[in-house]
Amino acid sequence: MEVPRHWRLKQQRYALVGEVCPHCDSKIFPPRDVCPYCGEEAKTQYTMSGKGKVYSYTIMRDAPAGYEENIPYTVAVVALEEGPMVTAQLTDLGDKPVEIGMPVEMVTRRIRQDGDKHGMLVYGYKFRPAVRA
Amino acid sequence: MTTETTNDPSKLLLKTDRKIGIIGYGAYVPRYRIPGEDISMVWTGHKTGSPVKEKSVAGIDEDVITMSIEAARNAIARAGIDPCELRAVWVGSESHPYAVKPSGTVVAEAIGASASIQSGDWEFACKAGTEAMVAAIALTGSGMGRYAMAIGMDTAQGKPADALEYTAASGGAAFIIGPAEEAVVEIEASYSFVSDTPDFWRRAEMKYPEHGQRFTGEPAYFKHIEGAARIMLDGMKRSPSDYTYGVFHQPNPKFPQRVAATLGFTPEQIKDGLLSPDIGNTYAGSAMIGLTAILDIAKPGDRILMVSYGSGAGSDAFSLVVTDKIAARRELATSTAEYIARRTQIDYGTYLRYRGNISME
């Protein structure tokens, strides 16, 4: 059971809440309180727009424990409009093949259940092809 | 239970001290569709016709919480408010993912609402969302809070081979209620009409609902929708021709068409809000998402009568007037028609998998 971890990370996972550096204005995700670009303290909350492009991707046919329900699924590195790179599942692909550079948008989805059917439901960000590209 | 407490229907209408309205609205329809004839093929070899062309199906990673989050984000985008200004985030559904743990708190955190809110879940079969709307109207109309969000959303359960499997669909809508001066739609009045009617239920811990033989039509759907609509029309001293649009709970295409005709609404008045032929019955979302489709095209001054229906049983009627703020706001989020057009057809096996109907144990 990883209830405390899910609870601790919920804000960034539900809504891509990261940080903005007050010194160099870089947008930071996931939040880490120190700017990776200028090394200064950065604790100001900043919610990413959720818009981005597929930077790279792969298809998972043999899922790690807890993710078997969704196989096969696509995992992508998404370059957010604000700069940070995020690794996440793609969803709602429909008949469209995934392409590098494809515009995507963040949606909050059910990622998995913690343990078995008695466990809490874990929600978090995935990306889908932009509805209004 | 007596059905009337006064001879003057205008005294039965629920009206607020402060003028209020819908300041933002948002729809959500998942992208997957299963044609009714595919369900018919599996269970009757095509011998039974489907009441709908197709129905919307939630994806494998979707539920009432995730779908509510998307509709709520659309409503926030159109309202143009800071989510921290909301004083309630209410989700009405008969498919809450947890038996105990509110859907509303997850939705509220995901959209960036503050901790200073009401957030209990609502359940009244297919009118849980409009019941939450009435509460949001009361909360804002009394001045307790400036903005309140009411969501009606479902991933409806249809037992395989049951008549309801053709229509039990996924989708819904979110509305933010607030001051009339900021509204895209002013809410003139609401009225609710309920009775203990055993037409449809799902016992605790049961996966699928049951329906009560012949109770579905006359003593349930028609009695309550007509009861609520007639008090609203009489109380407002209006006739159906005073309304540009009518939108009713739509468990199938036939029931809302028939109740509209009985009340005196023309097919023209209800066609834009009648979504069940294309997406099925979205239960707690059904009348509400029909209203979003109307708001996507309505003009300032248009009057709308919305009447929901929830089994068990009851109806909420709302008399609405579109304001001149509608044109600028509707473009700020994905339209209901865009969601319906975004479709991927799935087969019956995939449908069973997405709905969690394949046992792996």
Q: Give residue-wise pLDDT tens across range B205-233.
A: 899 999 887 888 989 999 999 999 999 99
Is A29:A16 a contact under the CB 8 Å cutoff? yes
**Cross-chain residue pair A123–B60, CB shorter than 8 Å:** no
On whether any CB of chain B is under 8 Å from the CB of A90, the answer is no
Q: CB burial class (10 A; 0-12, 13-18, 19+) of residue B36?
A: buried
Write the residue in B30, B62, B109 that is nearest to A110 by C-beta: B62
Q: Which residues of B touch A13 (CB under 8 A)?
A: none
Does residue B141 share a domain with residue B234?
Answer: no
Interface pTM (ipTM) of the complex? 0.97
- The two tokens of residue B129 are 């969302």
Is the Cβ pair A111, B61 closer than 8 Å? yes
Closest approach of chain B CAs to the CA of A23, in angstroms?
25
pLDDT digits (tens, 9 = 90+) for B89-138: 999 999 999 999 999 999 999 999 999 999 999 999 999 999 999 999 99
Question: Per the domain annotation, does B2 fall within a domain?
Answer: no
Domain that holds residue B205: 185-324
- Angle value at C-alpha B220, between B215 and B224, nearest 5 degrees: 170
**Residue A87's closest CA among A127, A115, A47, A120?**
A127
Span A87-121, pLDDT tens digits: 999 999 988 899 999 999 999 999 999 988 899 99
Contact A14 B106 (CB under 8 A): yes
Considering CB atoms only, which of B31, B106, B344 is closest to A123? B106
Average pLDDT score over residue span B24-38: 97
B7 pLDDT band, cuts 50/70/90, is: confident
The answer to whether A111 contacts chain B (CB < 8 Å) is yes
Helix (H) or strand (E) holding B92: strand B86-92
**Domain final position from B184, B205, B224:** B184
Q: Which residues of B touch A46 (CB under 8 A)?
A: none
Q: How many domains does chain B have?
A: 2
pLDDT of residue A94: 85
Across the interface, do B60 and A108 touch by the CB < 8 Å criterion? no
Domain tally, chain A? 1
Residue range B143-157: mean pLDDT, rounded: 97
- Domain shared by B192 and B178, yes or no: no
Enter the tokens of residue B1.
């239970």
d(C-alpha B37, C-alpha B199), whole Å: 26
Whether residue A27 contacts residue A50, with contact meaning beta carbons closer than 8 Å, is answered with no
| Residue B3 confidence (pLDDT) above 70 | no
B73 and B107 within one domain: yes
Backbone angles phi, psi at B285, to 5 degrees: -95, -5
Question: Which pair of tokens denotes residue B171?
Answer: 């989708």
Based on the domain organization, do B110 and B156 belong to the same domain? yes
Catalytic residues of B: 94, 126, 249
Residue B5 has pLDDT above 80, yes or no: no
Asked which of B147, B165, B184 is the last residue of a domain, the reply is B184
In the predicted structure, residue A76 carries a pLDDT above the cut 80: yes
Strand order in the sheet with B121-122: B121-122, B86-92, B147-155, B170-179, B20-28, B185-194, B314-322, B303-307, B245-248
Mean pLDDT of B345-351: 97
- Whether residue B61 and residue A110 make contact (CB cut-off 8 A), yes or no, is yes
CA distance B66 to chain A (A): 5
Nearby residues of B137 by Cβ (< 8 Å), 6 or more positions away: B14, B16, B20, B177, B187, B190
Q: Distance of alpha carbon B309 from its chain centroid, rounded?
A: 9
Among residues B173, B147, B189, B182, the alpha carbon closest in space to that of B325 is found at B182
**Chain B residues with beta carbon closer than 8 angstroms to that of A69:** 60
